[in-house]
Amino acid sequence: MRMNKYVYVLLVFAVAFTAMQLLTWSTAEAGKYPRIRADAGNDFKVFENQEVKLDGSDSKGGFKKFVDYGWELVRINGAKVQNNQQPFEIDNDDKPEASFKAPDVTAGEITYEFKLKVKDELDREDDDIVTVHVMNQQPTVPVGPA
Q: How far apart are CA 55 and CA 49, in angstroms?
A: 19
24 shares a domain with 48: no
Is 145 a residue whose pLDDT tops 90? no
pLDDT at 26: 47
Domain annotation covers residue 143? no
Shared-domain flag, residues 63 and 104:
yes
Predicted local confidence at residue 19, as pLDDT? 67
Q: pLDDT of 66-115, one tens digit each?
A: 789 999 999 999 999 987 778 899 999 999 999 999 999 988 899 999 99
Question: Which residues constitute the domain of residue 63?
Answer: 44-135
CA distance 51 to 106: 18
Cα angle 77, 48, 91; round to 5: 85
What would the mean pLDDT of 18-34 be, rounded to a whole number? Answer: 59
Residue 66 covered by a domain: yes
| Residues 15 and 66 grouped into a single domain | no
Q: Are residues 49 and 28 part of one domain?
A: no
**Do 51 and 96 have their domain in common?**
yes
pLDDT of 42? 96
Q: Report the number of distinct structural domains present in the chain.
A: 2
Domain CATH code at residue 99: 2.60.40.10
Give me the chain's average pLDDT, please: 82
High-pLDDT (> 70) share of the chain, % = 75
- Structure confidence at residue 63 as a pLDDT band (50, 70, 90): low
Higher pLDDT, 33 or 34: 34
145 by DSSP, 3-state: which? coil
d(CA 1, CA 66): 60
| pLDDT reported for residue 32 | 65
